[in-house]
Amino acid sequence: MKQKPVILFDGVCNFCNSAVNFTIKRDKKALLQFAPLQSEKGRLFARQFGFTAEDMKTFIFIEDGKAYTKSTAALKVCRYLGFLWPLCYGFMIVPKFIRNGIYDFVAKNRYKWFGKKETCMIPTPEVRTRFIG
C-alpha cells in the first residue's frame, strides 16, 4: 500500500498550526497526513530522511519516499488542495533562491509575528485520524 503524503510541522508555532488547519480544510479528499516535529513519530520521520534538530526551522513534506522543505514543500502541498490552490504550483518556475528567501524571512519571524504555544496542538476528533502517532 502506498504511503499517503505527510506534512511534518512545528507543533508549537501558531502560524504553522494555522497553516495545517488551512490545509486540512482544503484537502477535501483527505489525502494528506500530519505529524508535529516535536512528536515521536515526527522526529522518527525527520531522522529517517536525514534531518537534524537544527533543520527543524522548516516544515517537511514527504511524498513518494522523498522529503521536501521550504517553498518547494509548500508548493507541492498546494497540488492537494481544492479550488484554485493547485495553480500555485506554477510558482515552481521562480528560482529557488528567491522562493526560499521569502520563505526564510517568514520562518525567521513566525514566532515574533504569530506567537508560540507551550504545547503542540491537539486535533479535533474529526481530524485526529489524519495525524500520525
* Coil, strand or helix at 61: strand
Cell numbers at residue 118, please? 507551550
51 alpha-carbon distance from chain centroid: 14
Encode pLDDT of 115-129 as tens digits.
776 655 566 767 777
pLDDT score recorded for residue 50? 85
Q: Report phi then psi at 113, rounded to 5.
A: -80, -40
> pLDDT (tens digit, 9 = 90+) per residue, 17-67?
788 888 998 998 889 999 888 888 888 888 888 887 666 667 889 999 999
With cut-offs at 50, 70 and 90, classify the pLDDT of residue 82. Answer: confident
| Count: domains in the chain | 1
Where in the sequence is the domain holding 73, given as residue range(s)?
6-130
Q: Is residue 1 part of a domain?
A: no
In whole angstroms, give the CA distance from residue 35 to residue 39: 7
Closest CA to 73 of 88, 52, 53: 88
Strand 66-69 and strand 6-9: pairing? unpaired
Determine, yes or no, domain membership for 13.
Answer: yes
Other Cβ atoms within 10 Å of 23 Cβ, number: 20
- The answer to whether the CB of 7 falls within 8 A of the CB of 20 is yes
Q: Tell me the whole-structure pTM to 2 decimals.
A: 0.83
Q: Is residue 112 part of a domain?
A: yes
